[in-house]
Structure 1
Amino acid sequence: MKFKYVNLNKEEKVIDLPVTEEDFNETKCFVEGSELIDMDYDWLIWDLRDYFVEKMVLDPFKEEINSFCKRIQLADFDYEKNAGPEDLKVVQMYYHVYIWDQIFIACEPEGSFHKESLVEDRLELDLDLELKELEHLLLQLLDVLEVDYSEFKEEEDISTNELGIDTLVENLLRECWRKTKEETNSKIVGTLFEATGLGSTGDLDTDEIIGDSEELIVEFFKKRNIRA
């Protein structure tokens, strides 16, 4: 359904909600007059919040991430004296979300696979997050649903509370990696993981879970006939 709201610049906007008008009105009848702080996280507003994080906050970075992935796949690193692009077979990409202000993404040769140092420095990308517009929209949605969020807002941030942004970021990185791979036809493959150790190391190309040990990573790529 279409939802009309006013953005931070006081302009009238229309945005698509991934829900039918019938389901939206049914939800409204069920929750109107309720307090947000008493609700669990398995209802419409949180599904919409996650959807808007993806569409409003993360998707605008696609062009930058595509360019970043293309640099990696074209082996655009500064190499050590005895190394070159032809030596690079497997890379590791990792990211970290800094308190909802920034996403840091980096990439370098996969350390478990490439024992010798190939590059002088990793490639890095910093993305600044902006969540004010998202929260502004969510509050208007809650007003239409006639849900009282005053007490919740004193204790929690509606735009980030219980938000599983790591999954959304990883989905975006994989999407951009595969898109640019179709353009570059690169033979370079990659691993992906969250920099502080949350979750497991996965394959950028196939989404398979590899595991975190050096032996598992080396063995995984050997099965794909990629050897150091």
Structure 2
Amino acid sequence: MLIAGIFFILILIFAIVKLIILQKSKKRINKSSNENLLKSSPKQEKKIEIKKIKYGYKYWNEVINGNETVGINKSEVKSKILLNNWDYISKYYYVIREEVKAMRNSSNFSEEQIVYDLSFNQKLTKELYKINLELIKNKITAFLINILENSGKLRKPEMEIPLKAISLIYFLYDNSSFYIRAEPSRVFHNEKYSTYMSDFELKHKLDIDISGIETAIFDELNIIVGDYYDEYSDYTYDLFSKMMFECWEKAKQKTGSNLLGSLDYGSGGIDYDLDIKESIDGFNITEHYKKRGIVIERDLEN
């Protein structure tokens, strides 16, 4: 009986030990399975909330300067004038289109605001005007070279005092065309000794029809034009004068001329000294030139 009892106890101990081993093994398997499941499951990342920001021309520079790639299906554009000028306007068209979309998605949207916003932004019209001026720089420079090389024709032969200064009189007709003529400076020279040459006049209609492009964009984007007005004068005079400075400098370098020049708007007065690229105070013209060591001839003549 004693031996049978001992044998029973040993069997019981063996069963308990085996049960413990099985439980530990099961835990290890479950742990490993859970770890594998976690590894195989995609990581849950924190969601980033992307808020729609009102465009407001915020990305003009990024788009226009090429830092942001834009894609427009050209086939969606119907206007012939837009397609003919697509190389110039595609990025601007994209930005304006996105701006219009953003405005129309705004809770405070009004159609009138679109036209108001575009008329004061002037990004497209200003850039197109720059391109127009870039396209005529060579023509303007050649025009000025001809004047400088033949400036003696602006002076009557009997006049012994040579021509010292010329005025470039100009008119800008909105942002579509301009007129320039050269004549002896009325500040420097007595008019009775001056002559005028039709060869020293230039009338030019700019290549890109800015107004036509604006109208076509409005039509493409279904924008109600209403009282739209392009305040072109805010930028045309500044950009035109800068272009004239550059062309005058090139013409002077090409000819070696010492002739002085001023850029005068047609309605009167002197706007700029072309040689030093500065505006001239109309009340202090004499002092302006005296500081440069220049005597105004008109004051010496009867």
Same fold (TM over 0.5): yes
Alignment CA distance shift 1:75-1:9 (3 Å):
same
Contact 1:113/1:217 (8 A) holds in 2? no
1:202 matched residue in structure 2: 272
Does 2:206 align with 1:125?
no
1:108 matched residue in structure 2: 183
2:293 matched residue in structure 1: 225
Does 2:169 align with 1:94?
yes
SS in structure 1 at match of 2:123: helix
Q: Name which one, 1 or 2, has greater alpha-carbon Rg.
A: 2
Alignment CA distance shift 1:18-1:112 (3 Å):
farther
Contact 2:168/2:183 (8 A) holds in 1? yes
2:117 matched residue in structure 1: 39
Contact 2:151/2:163 (8 A) holds in 1? no
Aligned equivalent of 1:52, options 128, 141, 161: 128
CA distance in 1, matches of 2:274, 2:216: 37
Structure 1 residues 67-86: aligned runs within 5 Å: 67-78=142-153, 79-83=155-159
Amino acid at match of 1:13: W
Greater strand content = 1
Identity of aligned residues (%): 23
Alignment CA distance shift 1:98-1:150 (3 Å):
same
Greater helix content = 2
Does 2:236 align with 1:162?
no
1:13 matched residue in structure 2: 86
Alignment CA distance shift 1:51-1:70 (3 Å):
same
Contact 1:105/1:124 (8 A) holds in 2? yes
Provide Cα deviations, 1:36-70, integer angstroms capped at 9, x if missing partner.
33426443xx1121111120x33322222111211
Determine which structure has greater relative contact order: mean sequence separation of CA pairs < 8 Å that are 6+ residues apart, divided by chain length: 1
Contact 1:202/1:208 (8 A) holds in 2? yes
Q: CA deviation at 1:177?
A: 0.8
CA distance in 2, matches of 1:217, 1:110: 12
Amino acid at match of 1:51: E
Contact 2:82/2:216 (8 A) holds in 1? no
Amino acid at match of 1:151: V
Q: CA deviation at 1:27?
A: 4.3
TM-align CA RMSD:
3.5
Aligned residue pair count: 211
CA distance in 1, matches of 2:253, 2:151: 17
Contact 1:109/1:118 (8 A) holds in 2? no
Q: CA deviation at 1:76?
A: 3.1
Q: CA deviation at 1:203?
A: 0.7
Amino acid at match of 2:103: V
SS in structure 2 at match of 1:70: helix
Alignment CA distance shift 1:193-1:121 (3 Å):
same
Contact 2:218/2:225 (8 A) holds in 1? no
Q: CA deviation at 1:26?
A: 7.2
Provide Cα deviations, 1:96-122, integer angstroms capped at 9, x if missing partner.
124556411111111121236443214
SS in structure 2 at match of 1:15: helix
Structure 1 residues 136-155: aligned runs within 5 Å: 136-138=212-214, 148-152=222-226, 155=227
Contact 1:77/1:121 (8 A) holds in 2? no
Contact 1:7/1:137 (8 A) holds in 2? no
Structure 1, unaligned runs of 5 or more? none
SS in structure 1 at match of 2:88: strand
Q: CA deviation at 1:88?
A: 1.4
Aligned equivalent of 1:192, options 263, 274, 285: 263
Q: CA deviation at 1:178?
A: 1.4
Q: Where do 4+ consecutive residues of structure 1 move more than 6 Å? A: 16-19, 23-26
